[in-house]
Amino acid sequence: MTTTRTHYDSLSRALHWLTAIAVIAAFTLGPEHFGRQMRQGMDPATHWDIVVHESLGILVMALTLLRLLWVAVRPAKPTFDMAAWMHTVAKATHGLLWLALLAVPVSALLALGTEGNPLTLLGGIRVDTLPITGQSPLADLADWGDVHKWLGDAILWLSGLHAVAAIYHHFVLKDGVLRAMLPMRS
CB 121 within 8 A of CB 55: yes
Residue 99 lies in a domain: yes
Res 158: pLDDT: 96
Task: Report the predicted TM-score, pTM, of the whole model to 2 decimal places.
Answer: 0.89
Res 2: pLDDT: 47
What sign does the CA torsion over 167, 168, 170, 171 have? Answer: positive
Res 186: pLDDT: 57
Residue 78 lies in a domain: yes
For the chain (length 186 residues), average pLDDT per consecutive 10?
Answer: 75 97 94 73 85 96 98 92 94 96 94 86 90 72 90 95 95 94 81
Residue 68 lies in a domain: yes
Res 129: pLDDT: 82
Residue 171 lies in a domain: yes
CB 162 within 8 A of CB 97: yes
CA gap 126, 175 in Å, rounded: 47
Residue 4 lies in a domain: no
Q: How many domains does the chain have?
A: 1
CA gap 97, 136 in Å, rounded: 25
Res 134: pLDDT: 64
Nearest by Cα to 58 from 127, 2, 142, 12: 127
Residue 185 lies in a domain: no
Residue 84: give the domain boundaries.
10-175
